[in-house]
Chains A and B, each alone.
Chain A
Amino acid sequence: MRVLAAMSGGVDSAVAAARAAEAGHDVTGIHLALSRNPASYRSGARGCCTIEDSNDARRAADVIGIPFYVWDLSERFHEDVVEDFMDEYAAGRTPNPCLRCNEKIKFAAVLERALGLGFDAVATGHYAQLRTGADDLIEMHRAVDHGKDQSYVLGVLDQQQLAHSLFPLGDSTKTAVRAEAADRGLLVADKPDSHDICFVADGDNAGWLREKLGERAPNHGGDIVDEASGEVLGQHDGTYAYTIGQRKGLRIGRPAPDGKPRFVLDIEPVTGTVTVGPRERLAVDRLTGIRPRWCGTVPSRLEGTVQLRAHGEEHRAVVSVRDGEVEIRLLDPAYGIAPGQAAVIYDGTRVVGSATIAATQRVPA
């Protein structure tokens, strides 16, 4: 096969490209330039789109012995990922830009261009496993290394996208991948993992959003209100700095009467009100998901599990699909679930699909 390997400059995508080449594929490496001004994004070794990362990817391609190019996806990335990220926070939701990037950039803009150019598949360093299942459908399963499993951020891929994807690391542990990188002479073998959002240079989401949304946000400033008493406990500079379930940075001058910590329960972007309360009030047992994306056959009803955040725990759930909406009933309550996040639905280790959480229903008090 002719394979396009997306190379971030990190160890995972370098080993993935090397394995694809070793498997006999005709591999070409590409680095995605996602920032209009590469120097302005994160500096150092932890991001995915600096000049340094581009050079690391280039050197890995040299060592593997494959051609290497840089593709400028900065405009698409800004429109589809960065602006969406800002809009979602402005609307009081908590988006996951990595899912969005996979759905709109890596396995859409890049994949479409690759197929047009005559490639058969795109390979990435994601930790997930692909298998051919019944009816020759491609199934995506959790990675062998559960600690590194990234099937959650790939839960937005449909059958067409999966049919043209390769995840060569799904059967390996991160430790093994690092060791293999060292054996292969890849200089990125001990490069630190990336964790935060690549376009937020210093990892300070609230600071970044304050700068970008600033005064134009409709929700600039407002009250922090206690749910039980209705009492105004403090003020904030913008709802975008808050996410449901957040405990830190609430700037409440005095402790609650019961001495228990308070958490963000609700964000109302129009009035700018942030409602807080005790942890037990975060418990939800029903979720409504919109914009579903299915990896294969669309289920009507499923008893399985859902994962509600990257590297989050699995929740047993009953999922039913009706009129393009997904109703998820959790068998055990979940805490700190924010609209905007993705609910990824699993049947065992297999990813069934995903939906964006639009609403949650609290466990009755």
Chain B
Amino acid sequence: MTTRTAYLDHAATTPMRAEAVEAMTSHLLDVGNPSSLHASGRKARRVVEESRETIAQAMGCRPGEVVFTSGGTEADNLALKGIYWARRAGDDGRRRILSTAVEHHAVLDALHWLDEREGAEVELLPVDGRGRLDVDALRAAVGRDPGSVALISVMWANNEVGTLQPIDEVVAIAAEHGIPVHTDAVQAVGAVPVDFAASGVDALTLTGHKVGGPYGVGALVVRREVAVTALVHGGGQERDIRSGTIDTPAIAGFAAAVELSVKQQADHAVRIGALRDDLVARVIAAVPDAHLHGAPLDPTGVHRLPGNAHLGFPDCEGDSLLMLLDARGIECSTGSACSAGVPQPSHVLLAMGCTDEAARHSLRFSLGHTSTQADVDALVAAIVPVVERARMAKRPA
């Protein structure tokens, strides 16, 4: 039996856009290292620089502020470690890093490493029941000793529950004391309006495969004035803060995807937001004790990513639900899986005040540019028998 797949896991990765495939593949057979000085090298370099300009245009930054990386994780590591080291080198007393308890592991684990191994003092600030940063706690933490803060890192939008963070308020607090701000905007770009210059942040992470570009390419957008110590040493590419031969085809595909997703963002948000609202309403109508985690639904994307639906199903194991839905061709996520594939209760839900039990009975459905009404209908048709089954599996014999 072949089942049509309803892919509802776009926050994990989303299909490549045809334009990105075209842009990427059109360069796969071109020879030329962008760092070479001959004609082929210059031709490749031109592709890279035009891509950089395309991304700058879409992101509201200057081309020279775009540093290409291997993806979001590397960009987060570069921002956190690179800015921390540079700030500490300028003043050995600047060792505090303020962030939130709901960051992605690419941020949390990098911060944990800096705390354990590099003398950083990491403070993870609390969030409210919807996953939004407690701004007063941030203000108080900065106010305790502003001169000791090396940087602040707050994600633009949460990858699990889709809550948008008050980046403008974070920037306002940091600006009073000249503290650099980094934001992981991997989930936000193309889903909600993101303008680097207007936001006032100093560094911003984005990645290709979340916007319909290829895997293995991303960027840290970082103001020229912000000193960043290199993580990867070598040929001095990318402003000498990210060495390594530049991946021309991937960057071309990445730029095409960023350009298109940002251009279509407003229409996309309206379409996907309506589908998401329909998904949530009909799932809750079918399973009355299911409940939404995170911020209330708002298709305008002020408080929540338009494609995110994060739902709790009491008396179920999330991984039972996932397996039963998977068997019916419906693909979603229980949260961020660890390397062994063992689902741990989500640190995001725990930080939002969920019990361990509630954190384990939740699923994330995330919609993207290829999502259709049929995907939502498939989930709605399956959810009642699946929840009933999962409850039978959980009930002690």
Report the Cα distance A95→B253, complex, angstroms.
Answer: 60
The residues of A that contact B319 with a CB separation of less than 8 Å are: 69, 71-72
Quick one: closest B residue to A111, CB to CB? B397
Contact A33/B324 with A116-B395, A117-B393 known, Cβ cut-off 8 Å: no
The residues of A that contact B340 with a CB separation of less than 8 Å are: 33, 38, 51, 54, 70
Residues of B contacting A: mostly: helix
The residues of A that contact B342 with a CB separation of less than 8 Å are: 33, 38, 70, 72, 74
Q: How far is the CB of A59 from chain B (nearest CB, A)?
A: 13
The residues of B that contact A112 with a CB separation of less than 8 Å are: 393, 396-397
The residues of A that contact B320 with a CB separation of less than 8 Å are: 113, 117
Report the Cα distance A115→B326, complex, angstroms.
Answer: 17
Contact A70/B341 with A113-B320, A116-B394, A117-B393 known, Cβ cut-off 8 Å: yes
Report the Cα distance A117→B394, complex, angstroms.
Answer: 9
Range of interface residues on B (Cβ < 8 Å)? 20 to 34
Quick one: closest B residue to A52, CB to CB? B340
Chain A window 64-93, contacts with chain B (Cβ cutoff 8 Å), 1 for yes, 0 for no: 000101111010000000000000000000
A118 within 8 A of B: yes
Which 5 residue pairs across A and B have the least CB separation, nearest first? A116-B393, A70-B341, A116-B392, A33-B342, A117-B393
Whether the Cβ atoms of B341 and A117 lie closer than 8 Å is: no
Whether the Cβ atoms of A116 and B327 lie closer than 8 Å is: no
Report the Cα distance A217→B79, complex, angstroms.
Answer: 50
Give 24 A-B contacts (CB < 8 Å), ordered by A residue.
A28-B327, A33-B340, A33-B341, A33-B342, A38-B342, A51-B339, A51-B340, A58-B341, A69-B319, A69-B322, A71-B319, A72-B319, A72-B342, A72-B343, A72-B344, A113-B393, A114-B393, A115-B397, A116-B389, A116-B393, A116-B395, A117-B320, A117-B390, A118-B389
B323 within 8 A of A: yes
Q: Kindly list 12 other residue pairs between chains A and B, CB separation below 8 angstroms, not including A51-B340, A72-B343, A116-B392.
A: A33-B340, A33-B341, A51-B339, A74-B342, A113-B394, A114-B393, A115-B397, A116-B393, A117-B324, A117-B390, A118-B324, A118-B389
Report the Cα distance A33→B342, complex, angstroms.
Answer: 7
Q: How far is the CB of A299 from chain B (nearest CB, A)?
A: 26
Q: How far is the CB of B363 from chain A (nearest CB, A)?
A: 14
Quick one: closest B residue to A70, CB to CB? B341
The residues of A that contact B392 with a CB separation of less than 8 Å are: 116-117
Chain B window 299-327, contacts with chain A (Cβ cutoff 8 Å), 1 for yes, 0 for no: 00000000000000000000110111011
A residues 115-158 in Cβ contact with B at 8 Å: 115-118
The residues of B that contact A31 with a CB separation of less than 8 Å are: 341
Contact pick for A117, options B344, B389, B397, CB 8 Å: B389
Q: How far is the CB of A105 from chain B (nearest CB, A)?
A: 14
The residues of A that contact B327 with a CB separation of less than 8 Å are: 28, 67
Report the Cα distance A290→B326, complex, angstroms.
Answer: 44
Q: How far is the CB of B283 from chain A (nearest CB, A)?
A: 20
The residues of B that contact A51 with a CB separation of less than 8 Å are: 339-340
Report the Cα distance A33→B319, complex, angstroms.
Answer: 13
The residues of B that contact A113 with a CB separation of less than 8 Å are: 320, 393-394
The residues of B that contact A114 with a CB separation of less than 8 Å are: 393
Contact A67/B389 with A72-B343, A112-B397 known, Cβ cut-off 8 Å: no
The residues of B that contact A69 with a CB separation of less than 8 Å are: 319, 322-323, 341
The residues of A that contact B324 with a CB separation of less than 8 Å are: 117-118
The residues of A that contact B326 with a CB separation of less than 8 Å are: 67
Range of interface residues on A (Cβ < 8 Å)? 20 to 34
Quick one: closest B residue to A49, CB to CB? B340
Report the Cα distance A28→B340, complex, angstroms.
Answer: 18
Quick one: closest B residue to A54, CB to CB? B340
Whether the Cβ atoms of A117 and B343 lie closer than 8 Å is: no
Q: How far is the CB of B315 from chain A (nearest CB, A)?
A: 12
A residues 260-299 in Cβ contact with B at 8 Å: none
Report the Cα distance A117→B327, complex, angstroms.
Answer: 11
Quick one: closest B residue to A38, CB to CB? B340
Report the Cα distance A58→B327, complex, angstroms.
Answer: 17
Chain A window 204-241, contacts with chain B (Cβ cutoff 8 Å), 1 for yes, 0 for no: 00000000000000000000000000000000000000
Report the Cα distance A23→B50, complex, angstroms.
Answer: 57
The residues of B that contact A54 with a CB separation of less than 8 Å are: 340-341
Q: How far is the CB of B9 from chain A (nearest CB, A)?
A: 15
B residues 316-363 in Cβ contact with A at 8 Å: 319-320, 322-324, 326-327, 339-344
Chain A window 15-35, contacts with chain B (Cβ cutoff 8 Å), 1 for yes, 0 for no: 000000000000010010100
Chain A window 335-349, contacts with chain B (Cβ cutoff 8 Å), 1 for yes, 0 for no: 000000000000000
The residues of A that contact B322 with a CB separation of less than 8 Å are: 69
Q: How far is the CB of B320 from chain A (nearest CB, A)?
A: 6
Report the Cα distance A71→B343, complex, angstroms.
Answer: 8
Quick one: closest B residue to A69, CB to CB? B323
Report the Cα distance A127→B394, complex, angstroms.
Answer: 30
Q: How far is the CB of B335 from chain A (nearest CB, A)?
A: 13
Q: How far is the CB of A21 from chain B (nearest CB, A)?
A: 15
Q: How far is the CB of B322 from chain A (nearest CB, A)?
A: 8
Report the Cα distance A118→B324, complex, angstroms.
Answer: 9
Report the Cα distance A117→B326, complex, angstroms.
Answer: 13
Report the Cα distance A54→B390, complex, angstroms.
Answer: 24
The residues of B that contact A28 with a CB separation of less than 8 Å are: 323, 327
The residues of A that contact B323 with a CB separation of less than 8 Å are: 28, 67, 69, 117
B residues 49-89 in Cβ contact with A at 8 Å: none
Quick one: closest B residue to A72, CB to CB? B342
Quick one: closest A residue to B397, CB to CB? A112
Report the Cα distance A20→B342, complex, angstroms.
Answer: 25
The residues of A that contact B390 with a CB separation of less than 8 Å are: 117
Quick one: closest A residue to B394, CB to CB? A116
Report the Cα distance A38→B343, complex, angstroms.
Answer: 12
The residues of B that contact A118 with a CB separation of less than 8 Å are: 324, 389
Quick one: closest B residue to A26, CB to CB? B327
The residues of A that contact B343 with a CB separation of less than 8 Å are: 72
The residues of B that contact A71 with a CB separation of less than 8 Å are: 319
Quick one: closest B residue to A33, CB to CB? B342
Report the Cα distance A340→B397, complex, angstroms.
Answer: 27
Among B322, B326, B341, max chain A CB count under 10 A is at B341
Report the Cα distance A113→B320, complex, angstroms.
Answer: 9
Quick one: closest A residue to B341, CB to CB? A70
Report the Cα distance A117→B392, complex, angstroms.
Answer: 7
Report the Cα distance A82→B343, complex, angstroms.
Answer: 21
